[in-house]
Structure 1
Amino acid sequence: MSYTPMIQQYLRVKADCKDAFLFFRLGDFYEMFFEDAIKASQELEITLTSREGGSEERIPMCGVPHHSAAQYIEQLVERGYKVAICEQTEDPKQAKGVVRREVVQLITPGTMMEGKGLHEKENNYIASITYFDEESFGFAYNDLSTGETKVTMLSSSFDEVLNELSLSGAKELVIAADFNNEWQRKIKERSVMTLSIEDDCSTKESYHSLLEGINQDKLLQTTSRLFNYLYRTQKRSLDHLQKVSMYQTHQYMKIDYFSKRNLELTETIRSKGKKGSLLWLLDETKTAMGGRLLKQWIDRPLVDENEIIRRQKLVETFIMSFFEREELRERLKEVYDLERLSGRVAFGNVNARDLVQLQRSLLQIPLLKELLKKLPNEEANRLSEQLDACEEVVDLLDQAIVENPPLSIKDGNMIKDGYHALLDQYRDATRNGKTWIAQLERQEREKTGIKSLKVGYNRVFGYYIEVTRANLHLLEEGRYERKQTLTNAERFITPELKEKEALILQAEEKSVELEYELFTALREQVKGFIPRLQTLAKSVSELDVLQCFATVSEERYYVKPSFSKDRRIMIKDGRHPVVEKVMNAQEYVPNECYMDADRELLLITGPNMSGKSTYMRQIALTAILAQIGCYVPASEAILPLFDQVFTRIGAADDLISGQSTFMVEMLEARNAIVNATKDSLILFDEIGRGTSTYDGMALAQAIIEYIHNRTGAKTLFSTHYHELTVLEDELSKLKNVHVSAIEQNGKVVFLHKIKEGAADKSYGIHVAQLAELPEELIIRANEILTGLEQKDEVSMRSIPVIEPKKIEEPDAQLSFFEEPAKTKSASLSSKEKRIIEKVKEIDILDMTPMQALNTLYELHKKLKG
């Protein structure tokens, strides 16, 4: 098929970026053709047209104006697509044939540098995985907008790799072309992530200095793969990339993907939003940088006690220095995002307003330094010394940039008078020229006597003298040269005006060009300060997070925890931090938790809705808060340093991978049991409820015994299997506790208080009543429960089954059952009563109908046998 030269050029460029939308610059538009055009018209809801391309068939085509292309690019990238920007790299006037065009940048989900898709308090990571052998993976991730890069080696299964990838929250993953297909499938199941290919993992000279201190060849290959992809796609100098930081996972408390989700650390399970999470509760940061660091600290709590105590001391100092802290918070409000401003300077997309923001931010640093020096804390004084005010940058920007510059850097009016002599000359010529024009208008009116005469300007014809047709006879012959004819007037030019016009227009054009040159030179000067600005950003971020901890801790009456050497837990008046805040004026019922060498596993029983899950979660959140250096919601707290936290709370099918609720439950349980150590914390909620009663009970008991006898981790295990409470007599380190509830006037009142010993009943029907199930259904359930509680031995068939009542009238719609016979329960045999006693212990209302039927059937077979 024969195409025009331009379409052939398009196809050649497109061949090198097949996995991206190609924005092909044609004049004032970015055009797309063929499949790109069809798909883009659907995604962006723009008109699909067509054009002749040299072949017999018309080529699908759509386009967007270049001046508004950013919003369309952002839409595509937010949906996981890539966009290749192809610009004209040759002056059309000098081109011989088709204008030369090249891809100047590939914009992807992991390489966004600006726009609404880049959330100010969230990092935008792109990651890379390099496979070496079955137990050796390299993992690196980078935020191009801030320049930070981290790398580690993972020497476990691919599950650990998946966990690190999930914790990073990366939006794009760079892998080799031959990366395992099954692993790719697992990655796509876990998150919506763009996969990109980069086979080159050789180290280049352009970023060699960033790898100082990394001597392992595998780490070098992993990082180089990521850097090669960034340099290849961005096609520019990335001077803001920071020195690569190497870390090891054991330096932090491990919180796997499931536990992070179950504990709702950074987003809630239902809404997938920040509100209602631990991050939402804590975020009193005043800077975007501080917000990002806070999230990083929550994702990776410390295990180094010395570093935790260092943070605690600073938090304590801020709490004790209220007025200084409030002043600090006010100053931090004026600090813009130094990290991303630095990135934009290096990337070349910073504007004059950004530089003004940088200047204003730096002006706050001396004030922050003075505030920190006033605090009675050596660490605060040390932080003060670390704050580099970068006075040279402040002075430079103060001399160069006007206070309120325009957004565009190509329209002038951003450089101050007096900054550059030639620019001042051009401006003087422009300003004086316009003054001369005004004077010329007055002179011409006086000379001709035409009061309506005016001197004007437009871009097409330049300057002109306009005279209405009625006054043409008043003009001096031979002096005015006709320039343009209008309906009711004529426009002229004189030799003097023509000379001044050339001077003014030349000065304006050269002034704008020179301002742009001066701005780019200024940007290059600021670029030299990027390392210092990034170091400053780190210190300001830490300062912001620590004042945030102090603010939250003081407002919510948190206390400083201490750490035990004997793995002892002692929490007095503990609260769930998020639930407490959500409840607002309502009083949250605090609870104690005590665990030591003789009390390693707590078996928690009690009614549904009584607070068992909340109690378990609050223990984990208290530990996490303590290990990020924050105070904790209690009146007193002593905790061990946990190396890992595992949770199995709640139930959800994994529909994508085709796994049932029970399979997900077992996989999460396995993850905890296999990986936990004696220094770990395990939270298990209702393990075994997704199968038949005896299966579930057997699994639950076996798991409890395994953890007790083998793992030794501190464990909170909640259950409705009351039969398991006898394990307290058999397992020396297991203790029964329960969430108390009482009955008043036939209704249950949850006290939300943890007490020693086992619960006496589950109150399942009471919970159903609270859920406002139909009254007749509740009556019937109580009738069945009363019968099942009898101790006579009869077969299940002797329990009366009430037939559904036929509903004929609208007012009878709530009557599902016939009125039970009042004398029936009195005639139960001893076997029937014994069956009922067993069934009483099964919380049927907590099961699906099929689970309930299977449970009753299994019980029937067992008792009949």
Structure 2
Amino acid sequence: MIDKSKYTPMMQQYLTIKENYKDSFVFFRLGDFYELFFEDALLASKELEIALTGREAGAPERVPMCGVPHHAADNYINRLIEKGYKVAVCEQVEDPATAKGVVRREVVRMLTPGTVMTQGALNEKENNFIVSVVSLAEHFGIAYSDLSTGENFAMLCAKQNQALMAEIISLGAKELIIGREVDAAIFDSLKALKTLVISYEDETQIPVEYQHLVAELQDTRLYPAFGRLIHYLVRTQKNSLGHMQSVSVNKNEDYLRIDYNSRRNLELTETIRSKSRQGSLLWLLDKSKTAMGSRLLKQWIERPSISEQIITERLDVVESFISNYMLKEELKQLLNEVYDLERLCGRIAFGNANARDLLQLNRSLTQLPQIKSLLSQLPMASLQAQLDRIVDCSNITNLLDQAIVDNPPLSIKEGGIIKDGYDAQLDEYRYIVNHGKEWILALEAQEREKSGIKSLKIKYNKVFGYYIEISKANLHLVTDELGYQRKQTLVNAERFITEELKEKENLILNAEEKSIQLEYELFANIRNAVKEEIPKIQQIAKVLAYFDVLQAFATVSEENQYVRP
């Protein structure tokens, strides 16, 4: 136990925060850097191959320390996540300029292998599942989610260690949430899965605000596992999970169960020798044009349906695509313009989406009328229910067309995002910024004429702002009527200001700052407006993924001369 009293107040603050995140690296914000201390620093410096230094912190010995620039932190965090570590991001939550004493800091988000949302850490063709297990009287309750897409699933599993292990392995889970009721034998089996990070959560009651996600679940035995999962996600993400979708139930009688050895030997999703996707059944069949389609195909392969009705419906669509070759090819071209709607929704829900993400969303939704029109030409009345779920999104596309520039920057806090004409106040600020130099030149000409001093100049520096400079030879022409206020005396000149010049300066210098701040606020409002439409977009994404997989089947069938069974 570290004696906190011998350290500086800031280090005491760090140690207090670290006590609550003992199993995680704490990225502690200090100015433009995230710093790590003590054991975190020793381990992170090795794992990230960064310099280990030390910091004076009140104790006789220097505290081990290493750090990374805040603007590059995602890259370092992703590397730790890939190695199976957890990261708690601790930010300054008050302005250092106005803080009294130590700046207040809080952990604002937790990043773990099962909850990571950053694009660089995710495989677009695979789900990133986090799994929760609850030990029931006669079964294991299992719930699993992909936080990046908002998908939720639940199932019951036979109360046998091997059966539980097989289910977890089949999901390719990155993180497992368990509680104290899971006995030691099961825990030891789970720990043997080296690629799996184990976390803990004892609460199993579903919070009231998330009970609507299980409203259609008839088997209440599935509730505790989902309750445990949602509690863990709420606790670690410290964010609204408004994009989470209703829980789907995987029933054993609905799909073919494949044990681990059979799955491995059949090389369903990866080859035995190289563990690579190339050469597997998934690799052969995946002619999907969207990331959603690729992920859905992987789910179908890992849990093949044994419902004759579902299989027949899929084959009917595949046959229709083969019979309508030009329609299928046109559909493929349109789907090729559709981005990952599910993960875009996740980033929008978490407030992480930038302007380029919204442009990708807009470009994707713009394809919908043509996609729906094409699919409606397939001679299958049974598809109407699916097509009805591709609803009108013109309110979203119209908003984004009007608001977001065609080539926005990555940052959302430096301006250059919102189109001219979208907001009158923003346009006014921009006019002031863009025409400020013209105003100064016009004022300079005006003052020359008023004073009769042809060499009068208006200049600018960061110390004084804008000022009028008059040479010593012309000082006799400066009269009280001009209203000049002496600011500085130089060897060869005098510097003055006027009320009008200061007004212009305030307008010009404040306009740029206000413009950038207003743009950020406008963008946040637009993003929030789109956030309200997430359920609609997620519904559409599922339909597009469904047809994308089936056109992939049709394409593979044509290429390899497969026939309907």
Give the TM-score taking structure 1 as reference length.
0.61
Given that 1:81 and 1:109 are in contact with CA atoms closer than 8 Å, whether structure 2 keeps it comes out as yes
- CA deviation vs aligned residue, 1:222-255 (integer Å, no higher than 9, x gap): 1000000000000111100001112212211111
C-alpha distance in 2 between matches for 1:198 and 1:225: 6
Matched ranges for 1:523-602 at <5 A = 523-561=527-565
1:456–1:466 CA contact under 8 A, matched in 2: no
Matched ranges for 1:170-319 at <5 A: 170-177=173-180, 179-319=182-322
Alignment check: 8 A CA contact 2:86 2:113 kept: yes
- Letter paired with 1:27: G
Q: Is 1:77 matched with 2:76? A: no
1:407 aligns with 2:410: yes
Matched, 1:58 2:62: yes
1:539: Cα distance to partner?
0.2
Contact 1:466 1:489 in 2 (8 A): no
Answer yes or no: is the 8 Å Cα contact 2:131–2:175 preserved in 1. Answer: yes
CA distance in 1, matches of 2:408, 2:493: 39
Compute the displacement of 1:201 (Å).
0.9
Question: Counterparts of 1:360-375 in structure 2 under 5 Å?
Answer: 360-375=363-378
Between the aligned partners of 2:440 and 2:547, the Cα distance in structure 1 is: 57
Where do residues 68-467 of structure 1 align in structure 2 (5 Å cutoff)? 68-133=72-137, 135-177=138-180, 179-440=182-443, 455=459, 462-463=465-466
Calculate the aligned-residue CA RMSD, in Å: 2.5
Other structure's SS at 2:388 match = helix
Query: Which residue of the partner structure matches residue 481 of structure 2?
Result: none
Counterpart Cα distance in 2 of 1:47 and 1:399? 48
Alpha carbons 2:158, 2:164 under 8 Å: kept: no
Is the CA contact 1:464–1:483 (under 8 Å) kept in the aligned structure 2? no
Q: Which amino acid aligns with 1:405?
A: P
Q: State the 1:425 CA deviation.
A: 2.7
Question: 1:441-520 counterparts in 2 under 5 A?
Answer: 455=459, 462-463=465-466, 473=473, 478=478, 494-495=497-498, 496-520=500-524
C-alpha contact 2:341 2:537 (8 A) present in aligned 1? yes
What is the SS of the residue equivalent to 1:102?
Answer: strand
1:494 to partner: Cα distance: 3.6
Answer 1 or 2: higher relative contact order, Cα 8 Å, separation at least 6: 2
Q: Which residue is 1:837 aligned to?
A: none
- Counterpart code for 2:198: L
Gaps of 5+ in 1: 562-865
Q: Secondary structure at the match of 1:236?
A: coil
Query: C-alpha distance in 2, partners of 1:271/1:546?
Result: 28
Distance in 1 between residues matched to 2:122 and 2:319, nearest whole Å: 34
Say whether the 8 Å CA contact 2:355–2:410 is kept in structure 1: yes
From the superposition, tell whether residues 301 and 276 of structure 1 become closer, same or farther in structure 2 (CA, over 3 Å).
Answer: same
Residue 33 of structure 1 is matched in structure 2 by 37
For residues 274-303 of structure 1, the C-alpha deviation after alignment (integer angstroms, 9 at most, x for no partner) is: 111111111111111111111111111110
Per-residue CA distance 1:429-469 (angstroms, 9 max, x = gap): 33333431344567789976559x685565x65446789xx
Q: Partners in 1 of 2:435 and 2:369 — Cα distance?
A: 42
Q: Aligned pair in 2 of structure 1 residues 310, 216: CA closer, same or farther (>3 Å)?
A: closer
The Cα shift of 1:518 comes to 1.6
User: Closer, same or farther in 2 for the Cα pair 1:290/1:434, shift >3 Å?
Assistant: farther
1:315-339, CA deviations, whole angstroms, 9 ceiling, x for partnerless residues? 0111111111111111111111111
* Aligned-partner Cα distance in 2 for 1:342–1:490: 61
How far is the alpha carbon of 1:195 from its aligned partner? 0.5
Distance 1:214 1:457, change over 3 A: farther
Between the aligned partners of 1:442 and 1:279, the Cα distance in structure 2 is: 73
Deviation at 1:342, TM superposition (A): 0.8
**Which residue identity lines up with residue 539 of structure 1 in the other structure?**
V
1:490–1:243 Cα change, 3 Å = farther
Cα deviation 1:770-820 (Å, max 9, x = unaligned): xxxxxxxxxxxxxxxxxxxxxxxxxxxxxxxxxxxxxxxxxxxxxxxxxxx
Which whole-Å CA distance do the structure 2 matches of 1:325 and 1:27 have between them? 54
- Residues 683-708 of structure 1 show CA distances to partners (whole Å, capped at 9, x for unaligned) of xxxxxxxxxxxxxxxxxxxxxxxxxx
Q: Counterpart of 1:30 in 2: which secondary structure?
A: strand
AA aligned opposite 1:400: A
Matches within 5 A, 1:709-728: none
Separation of aligned partners in 1, 2:476 and 2:563:
93
Number of aligned positions between the proteins: 553
Q: How many angstroms apart in 1 are the aligned matches of 2:459 and 2:373?
A: 59
Task: Please tell me the residue identity of whatever aligns with 1:147.
Answer: G
Distance 1:417 1:313 in 2: 49
**Secondary structure in 1 matching 2:154:** strand
Q: Mapping of 1:668-707 within 5 angstroms? A: none
Displacement of 1:511: 1.8
User: 1:437, 1:455 within 8 Å by CA — same for their partners in 2?
Assistant: no
Q: Which runs of 5+ in 2 are unaligned?
A: 479-483
Distance in 1 (alpha carbons) for counterparts of 2:464 and 2:244: 49
CA contact 1:293–1:541 (8 Å) conserved in 2: yes
Percentage identity across paired residues of the two chains: 53
The one-letter code of the counterpart of 2:44 is A
Give the counterpart letter for 1:102 in structure 2. Answer: E
Q: Which has the larger radius of gyration?
A: 1
Q: Which residue of 2 aligns with 1:578?
A: none
Letter in 1 for 2:148: S
Q: Say which SS state the counterpart of residue 46 (structure 2) adopts.
A: helix
CA distance in 2, matches of 1:178, 1:445: 86
**Structure 1 range deviating more: 383-392 or 497-506:** 383-392
Q: 1:252 to 1:425 in 2, by over 3 A?
A: same
Aligned equivalents of 1:251, 1:493: Cα separation in 2: 84
Give distance in 2, aligned partners of 1:531 and 1:491: 66
